[in-house]
Structures are given as structure tokens and as C-alpha cells.
Structure 1
């Protein structure tokens, strides 16, 4: 909550600030693109590094270096300082991914969607409240600088909490194996090996932290190679396709509503805030929904993706604003459930011993989608305001076909693990 609350206070004000420093629209766009590219390449390496040195040390390092970036941002009186402040944030702002990896280590596998849903709900609340506070502070003289310092202070507070809270990585990665025997298909020998491996996880983590940087880098590359050669290609492809589809849906949302129905941008803003609030509710309802599906994440992901595809199709063919409101209402639930399920499926197939790497690769896949989606949206809008959501429907259909084609592979939920 605090992480996204602080970030969302600053991000909406950044374009205004860089323009006040005399930068052109092109320079502002280049700086924004460089940040996205740094996130794209660093997320996998930072996630893998968290698997090697441990969640606590990596999370603390990312928080403190991100705080440094926002402190520099708070002193940026030139375009160069503004651009330089984005470097540590672009490389190390992966606190949410590492936090998700930590949660996946600490909870039972069957409880993971519920915990991830609540985590996403808390993050969404912070993202809803942050822009309101940031906009209020921006009204004062020097408001951007105050907002940046407050954001950096929030990160320092989070770093203090990570350092002080009494938690241990001793039990990470093995709690999921204490589930009911009927809920999984692991053999007795596999259970014994997994418990033996987890019993030594703390010693390995501590020793890895004091390894040389070259040794850590070699281990990172080895783990990334293991992910690249694994059988997770279909999961990452589905994540990429659904991410691009949802980004296309939102890419021209305000403009399309104005052109198709004559509504003002203020109404579109209210509708987006309404959808964000419903996303918080959806995150809190993931527990009952997963129990209804008997913790079959793959089936829930397939159904939520199908529902998302149909809702975007309904929005594309909507004849009145009420159909748009209806589709936005249910789309908030289906997209929230889908995002949580795809992360849970990645961790289920890949195993908790590589959770940081898996989440990092998944974040990189989403970052590629963020780079490609604006280009596809611009091309599609040349034909019609409904072009981007129509393309989103096509991509979602491809993702659904891929999931159906691989249904047999994931029929036994939780029984397939990543093979290095």
C-alpha cells in the first residue's frame, strides 16, 4: 500500500515538472521510454538475484536505492538531474515483485491466490489515494519537490519495516508442501528431498549474500538460462497476449468514449476510478472464488480470460454508454482475477525455489507488452476508434486457444514443476 501510494503521488506530476524545466515533448517521451527499457531488462536479473541472496537483503537494497532515486528527483532543477534520478528507480524499483515472491514463499500453495489477491487489493487502494494527495500538494509552491521527498521518506519507512520486522526466510519455499496429500501428487521421495532442500535454505542464502559479485552474476545467468529452457513458454505467451489485450483496451479509452458517445474526459476518469475500486473488491473475493473452483488455478484463468475477451467484445460493439459501464464493471473483476491466476500458475509450474526469477521474467514480458501496445494502438486507431479493443479481442482469443491446447498439461494442478 505504502509503496504504490508514494509512487502514485509523484508519477502523475512528472510530465508537468519536466516541461517546467524546459524539456520538449520528445525529450520527455525519450526519458519515459528509457525508464521502461531499464525496467524491462532489470526485472529478470533483480528477481533472480533475490533468489540467490534472499528476499530480505534484495528487498531492502531495492527500497533504499529507489528512495535515493526519489530524493534526487526531489532536487531535480535541470533536465539532466531529472533523467539521472530515473536510473536507480528504473533498475531497482522491483519491490512489488520481490514482495510477491516473498509471499509465495511464506504461504501454502492453495492459499496463494487469496493472499496475492489481498496484496493486489492493498496496492490498488494506494494507487487510488496517491494521485489525490499528490494533486493536492502540487497546488502549493514547490509542491512537486515536497511530493518527491514524501515519496522517498515513505520508501525509507518501508526499508525500516523490512529491517525491523521479525521474519525469517528459514521456512520459505517449503510451507506449501504441508498441504493435504489429496491435494497434490508429489511422491514421498520428492517430499523428503524438498524438505531437506528447504532445511538448508537459510544457510545457502546467507552464504550466497557474501559471494563475490562475479559468482552471483554467474548464478543469475545460470538460473535465467534454466527458465529460458523450461516448459513455461505457453504461460508467458498467454501473459503477454492478455497484457497487450488489456493495455489496448485502456489505450484510447477516454478518446473513444468522447468520439463514440460524446462524453467528457471527466466522466471517463470517474469510470476508471470506479473500475479500480471494483478491482479492490475483486481482490478480496478471490478466496471464495478459488474455493469454488477447488483451487484449480488453470481452469479459473481460462474462464476469466474468456470472460475478459467477451467483455471487451461487448465494449467494442456497445451502442450506449450503459453497455460500456456494464462491461467495465465486470471487466474489473475478470482482469484482477486473471492477473492473480497467471502469477499463481507461473509459481506453481516453476516452483518456489525460483519464484523471484519467474516473477522477474513475467514482469519483463509485461514490460514488452507496454512497449508494443501503444504502437499497435496507434495503428489500429487509424482505422476506427474501436480498432484497439477489436485487436484486443483477437489477441485474447489467441491466448484462449493456447490455453485450451495445453489443457492436458495442467490438468493435475500443482503436479508439474520446472525442469532445469
Structure 2
């Protein structure tokens, strides 16, 4: 494995470790400042909403200006934003900062887009994506545990200390990104090159010009060629979003678990997902003839549908945990399969744009799923929320079977 790939994996790990340290503590910090539950809910919705539009925009900007440069820029902005969260006494300012983070927190997308720049072998890329997901998954699993212990042991200054550490992590990540080899940005026509390379009158004009170029780049992508992959991504994202929106409450009401044991169950599922991602390269060895990933995509929806049906009929917490294993495996592999389907169809020029759009689909699910889960929980009961996830995977199962059958006929 090359030095560049190791750097990307380290950046991905530290990114989610830092996020895991501070994000679970932000709602409690805002509540201490006097915010109500509406503001706490807005923290997540604002972030997901801005992620929805920023994914393709940052992706296309990275295609134009170079992924390494954009990665460093976004990391430094995130370092500043997370540090300011602790310093500001204003709840409104924290909401603004969450919007800024929603715009620029695209580290995972950019590191994935950089992989093909340093590893040209498509078969090896699959294994790298799996290991990267596993390593970053370990970060998001460890972060909340470490952050929770620090905040509990230091109730007065714990959040301040964590905010400083998180800011340092992002600055350190930007330093690691600096040592990545240069990647070529998209070539422009000669007619435009003189205009684009001329010194801008000011930073604002330069920024606006880059945004315009990014928007133009979005129009160049043939989106109709990717709608089915984005649909599969949306169905998985919605199913898991609804499920996780109600996860802790479901375990508390159905099985009377305390928060400590709920945390253990969450960590267990995270570990299973990380292990599955790590071994994605070995799993792909069983699908050597599945060139278009249609069979793997179908099997993912089979696994998710079966595991959710098992969770619905579980009669105690032990059978529930057993059914979590295939759910975690299906969710982890499903994210990677849809990513590989996009990369397989793309031709490199719009790779950042497409991966950004894929992340935006997930963000859209992150905006809609909590509202659907809340509506069902309010009017039908907490136990019925999981049925929305099950319906989403059943629809995905039918569509993925149709897609697989269509590909077989073409072959």
C-alpha cells in the first residue's frame, strides 16, 4: 500500500474521531445555554440540509481546482468552526456554524475521490475503500466514548478542552493533506485559461468565479445515467436513517435497556460494520463475474430486508442483537457497493461531483427520515417506526431484482 493511501486513511480516521468526540456533546452544551428541543433538532437538520447542496458543489470544485487543495481548505475551515462553537455565547451563532460545517465538512467524500488518483487498479480500489470505511468507522466508534468520559470527568471545562482538541485534529489533518502528492485538476480550454489565471480583483470575486465554474460543471454531468444508483442509495439511506432516528428510544421502550447498555449495543453494531467494510475486498472475490455490481446490490437489499424482518419479530434483546449482525453487514457493504457502482460508470472527470451528489442523497435522507420517524412514533407508536425502514428495503429489493434481471438480458 502506497504512502499516499496510508495518509488518506489516517485523515479519514482522525476526521471521524474528531467528529465523534464533539458532535454527541453539542446538544447538551446548547441545552446548558438555555436552548429548547426545537433548537437542538435544528442542529441536525441545518447540517444535513446544507450537506445536501454542498456535496456536488464541493465535489465539482475539487474536480476543477484540485482535490488536495480543496481538502486542505475545508479541513482548515472546519478547524476554525469547531473551535468557535465553544467560544461563542450565542445559540444563533452555533446554528450558523453548523450551517458552515454543513457546507464545508466533506472530508470523507474528498478522501474517497482522491483514492483513484493514487491507485489506478480498480480491484485494489475496492479493498482500499473497504479498509478506509473500517478505519474511519473505528474513529466514529471511539470518539463518543472518549469524549463522553472527558466531559463526565470534567463537567466545567470538558467541552472547552474537547473543542480545542477537535480543532487541533483538523489542523493536523490539513498538515497531513499537505504531504499528499499533487493531483491534476481538470484542464480548461485555452480561451478560458487566460481569464481564469489572471489575478482576481479580490477574494470574493475569485470565490464567486469558482462557484460559477462549479455550477457549470454540474450541468456537464449526464445525471440520467446515474439515477438508478442514486435511488438505491436513497432507499438504503432512508431505511437506515429512520431506523437510527428511533434506535435508542426503541431499545429503551421495547427492552427497557439503560443508556449504558444502549451504548454497548450501538458500539457492537459499529464494530460489525467496521469489520464488514474492512473485508470488502475479500467479499468481492466471491463476485468476480458481477462486473456491474447488480448482484451485490441485490444481495445487500436481501440482507437488509431479512434482518429488519428479524428485528420486527424479535422477542428479547438477545435475538434482537443477533439480527443486528446482518443489518450492520448489509448497511456497511451497501454504502460501498453504491459508491463502486458510481465509480464504475463515471470516467474520472466528474468523480468528485458524483461522489458529492451521492453524499447529498444521503443527506436528503438524513433530513426526511427523522421527520418520518417522529410522525410515526407520535401517531402510531415507537414500535411501528421500524416498519418504514422495512418498506424502504422491500422496495429496494424489488427494484434491485428488476435492475439485475435487466442487466442479465443486456449481457
TM-score by length of 1: 0.84
Structure 1, 82-91 or 269-278: larger mean CA deviation? 82-91
Give 1:106-121 correspondences, 5 Å limit: 106-107=118-119, 108-121=121-134
1:360–1:399 CA distance, 2 compared to 1 (3 A): same
Conserved? CA contact 1:53–1:208, under 8 Å = no
Which of the residues 237, 243, 247 maps onto 2:231?
Answer: 237
Structure 1, 65-74 or 217-226: larger mean CA deviation? 217-226
Q: CA deviation at 1:11?
A: 0.6
Conserved? CA contact 2:83–2:163, under 8 Å = yes
Deviations 1:59-98 (A, max 9, x none): 0111111111112113122324423432432211111101
Q: CA deviation at 1:390?
A: 1.4
> 1: CA distance between counterparts of 2:242 and 2:348?
32
2:370 alignment partner, SS class: helix
Aligned to 2:162: 147
Conserved? CA contact 2:19–2:166, under 8 Å = yes
2:169 alignment partner, SS class: helix
Aligned to 1:131: 144
Q: CA deviation at 1:409?
A: 5.6
TM-score by length of 2: 0.86
2:382 alignment partner, SS class: coil
Aligned to 1:405: 402
1:55–1:41 CA distance, 2 compared to 1 (3 A): same
Which of the residues 178, 203, 213 maps onto 1:163?
Answer: 178
1:47–1:156 CA distance, 2 compared to 1 (3 A): same
Aligned to 1:18: 30
Aligned to 1:387: 384
- Residues 1:43 and 2:40 aligned together: no
Aligned to 1:364: 360
1:353 alignment partner, SS class: coil
Q: CA deviation at 1:213?
A: 4.4
Show structure 1 runs of 5+ residues with no match.
Answer: 173-197, 416-420
1:411–1:347 CA distance, 2 compared to 1 (3 A): farther
> 2: CA distance between counterparts of 1:321 and 1:111?
39
Conserved? CA contact 2:339–2:355, under 8 Å = yes
Deviations 1:151-177 (A, max 9, x none): 011100011111134x1325x9xxxxx
- Residues 1:312 and 2:308 aligned together: yes
Which of the residues 249, 259, 268 maps onto 2:243?
Answer: 249
Instruction: Tell me the number of residue pairs that the alignment of Structure 1 and Structure 2 aligns.
Output: 384
1:386 alignment partner, SS class: helix
Alignment root-mean-square deviation, CA: 2.6
> 2: CA distance between counterparts of 1:88 and 1:264?
35
Show structure 2 runs of 5+ residues with no match.
Answer: 1-12, 199-205
2:288 alignment partner, SS class: coil
- Residues 1:224 and 2:218 aligned together: yes
> 2: CA distance between counterparts of 1:412 and 1:355?
28
Q: CA deviation at 1:376?
A: 1.4
Give 1:268-417 correspondences, 5 Å limit: 268-294=262-288, 296=290, 297-381=293-377, 382-407=379-404, 410=407
Structure 1, 294-303 or 63-72: larger mean CA deviation? 294-303
Conserved? CA contact 1:65–1:92, under 8 Å = yes
Conserved? CA contact 1:275–1:332, under 8 Å = yes
> 1: CA distance between counterparts of 2:74 and 2:195?
17
> 1: CA distance between counterparts of 2:322 and 2:142?
24
Conserved? CA contact 1:304–1:338, under 8 Å = yes
1:151–1:396 CA distance, 2 compared to 1 (3 A): same
1:384–1:34 CA distance, 2 compared to 1 (3 A): closer
Conserved? CA contact 1:53–1:209, under 8 Å = no
Q: CA deviation at 1:23?
A: 2.0
> 1: CA distance between counterparts of 2:196 and 2:171?
22
